Amino acid sequence: MTDLLSAPLLDTSPIAERLTAALPTDVDYASARLFDERSEHLTVRQNNLEPIFNAFDTGVMISIWNGGGLGYAATADLSATGLDRAVERARYWAGVTAGHLVANRDEETGAIAPPPHHPIGSYESPVDVSWDSMPLEDRLELLHQQSRLLGIDDRIVDWSARLTRRSVDTLLVTSSSDGQRGEVEQRFQFVYPGMRATANEGINTQTRTFGANAFCGQGGAEVLGRFGFGDGASRVANEALELLTAPNCPSGVMDVLLAPDQMILQIHESIGHPLELDRILGDERNYAGTSFVTPDMFGSFRYGSDLLNVTFDPTVPGQLASYGFDDDGSPATKQFLIKDGILQRGLGGAVSQQRSGLEGVSNSRAASWNRPPIDRMANLNVEPGDATVDELIASVEDGVYMHTNNSWSIDDSRNKFQFNCEYGQKIENGEIVGTVRNPGYRGISRNFWTNLSGVADSNSFTVMGTPNCGKGELNQMIGTGHASPTCKFSNIEVFGGES
């Protein structure tokens, strides 16, 4: 079982030849994208091992652009016959959609330009310590150990520790009627550690987690050490118990410090989703709303204070959504989305860039082989500033330092929001004076970031991720990377959960 999970399931050389042979040469552009995934899921809950779950999934998506139309067809049949059937189905849908796509068309011919390149290259997740250097028995013992450390008190009524590991290999092969061809192979290793402790006393129930699933990334067994998984259980359990006796978070307008594991939610919801070009163009209206951002804002709109610098950077080693090429084959490069507070560009791949006439990034991504690529966040990071965390705390006369997202709500235009956190620390006259429970804050995206009044330096900069971002019809669940230092916001409406 371990060998199956660690080694590539498919030898890509014959598969690449088979895909290339299947692609037609009499269409404007064609691509075949192989997606090969296997995963292992381990959970110990209340000191009991839950059933071990392994998953394997392999298939190919065929895309054909021809005569002003675009067709998709997915298949799990990788035989020559299965691929030929998928190609013919995609060709059929390209014919059906000819002249009806929303992308920019040539006024004379009606043709729509396909993705503009035939990439050649590769990418592989950096791995320092092979996952298989830690045998299954050792992984299970680590989880049992963390479970015992979580369940340290009768007031902790539920607790669990888990490890998920995913290996994903992709292969993109392209061809066109002018004889050009491309081939990109990428191999990914993902690790997702997690733990949770829920404490109860009377009518008061409090939960503390290991970063609310944010402590995940690419790599091998070293990912666990990167986030301190082996030492995390005692802290999680003790803080859950601490929250039982902590006072409710005060309400009022005050300063807020957001820890990196809350900043990632703030980045994700009020910068990432609003800047997706397909959402701005209306594609998500049925499913998850639109955006307060409009095309005319790029290049001039003040999204935040001068301290706000946000990058799209799929080149960060070990971050959850790093890659060499997106799923349409665009090379991955670092780009500033917001520079010194001014909105620069959106999150849109080659097709959305063509539709909108706006600059975008290499973020056309698909969740699996049976989904077409759409505009998705990848690594979206707030760049470090030059203050220390201690200096930010010292600058606060009245405020709350909030850690780890607990719940979120945001309107259909990704503008008005209300977020709650697991753990808060009250700050008075520049010092942390105690713990508060049920901290929350609310705001409006286009105003909130202009209240950014402090950005900590690289010492608090933490590279994390969101493993379960949903978007699209049919839905696509995908991982996004986020990194941030601790940040300070002034004049924010704060409230407690029992207000």
Please write the tens of the pLDDT for every residue from 125-175. Answer: 999 999 989 999 999 999 999 999 999 999 999 999 999 999 999 999 999
pLDDT in tens, 195-213: 999 999 999 999 999 999 9
Q: What are phi and psi of 466, to 5 degrees?
A: -115, 110
- Identify the pLDDT of residue 498: 80
Q: What is the 3-state secondary structure (H, E, C) of 74-109?
A: EECCCCHHHHHHHHHHHHHHHHHHCCCCCCCCCCCC
Is cis: bond before 163, omega within 30 of 0? no
Q: Of the ranges 97-101, 443-447, 456-460, 463-467, which one carries the lowest mean pLDDT score?
A: 97-101
Task: Residue 24: name the closest of 94, 99, 77, 78 by CA.
Answer: 94
pLDDT in tens, 273-312: 999 999 999 998 888 899 999 999 999 999 999 999 999 9
CB-facing half-sphere around the CA of 328: CA atoms within 13 A? 24
d(CA 415, CA 444): 5
Segment 187-196 shows an average pLDDT of 98
d(CA 27, CA 104): 19
d(CA 54, CA 324): 27
d(CA 245, CA 21): 67
| 45-60 per-residue burial string, b: 16 or more CB within 10 A, e: under 16 | beeeeeeeeeeeebbb
- Identify the pLDDT of residue 244: 97
Segment 173-190 shows an average pLDDT of 94
260 pLDDT higher than 50:
yes
Residues, the chain: 499
pLDDT in tens, 357-390: 899 999 999 999 999 999 999 999 999 999 999 9
pLDDT in tens, 401-439: 999 999 999 999 999 999 999 999 999 999 999 999 999
AA letter at 107: E
- Identify the pLDDT of residue 99: 83
pLDDT band at residue 105 under the 50/70/90 scheme: low
Segment 22-49 shows an average pLDDT of 96
- Mean pLDDT, the chain, rounded, equals 94
- Identify the pLDDT of residue 3: 47
Segment 214-222 shows an average pLDDT of 97
- Identify the pLDDT of residue 102: 75
d(CA 315, CA 485): 18
Write down the pTM of the prediction: 0.94
- Identify the pLDDT of residue 109: 55
2 pLDDT higher than 50:
no
Tokens of 186: 């990428």
259 pLDDT higher than 90:
yes
Pick 132 or 270 by higher pLDDT.
270
Segment 315-319 shows an average pLDDT of 96
CA dihedral 419, 425, 426, 427 (to 10 degrees): -110
d(CA 233, CA 153): 13
- Identify the pLDDT of residue 5: 57
- Identify the pLDDT of residue 1: 40
Segment 118-128 shows an average pLDDT of 95
Task: Residue 109: name the closest of 64, 66, 71, 67 by CA.
Answer: 67
- Identify the pLDDT of residue 418: 97
Domains of the chain (ranges plus CATH)? 2-245 (3.30.2290.10), 252-496 (no CATH)
**Residue 253 in contact with residue 492, Cβ under 8 Å?**
yes
- Identify the pLDDT of residue 113: 63
Sign of the Cα pseudo-torsion (272, 440, 418, 396, in order)? negative
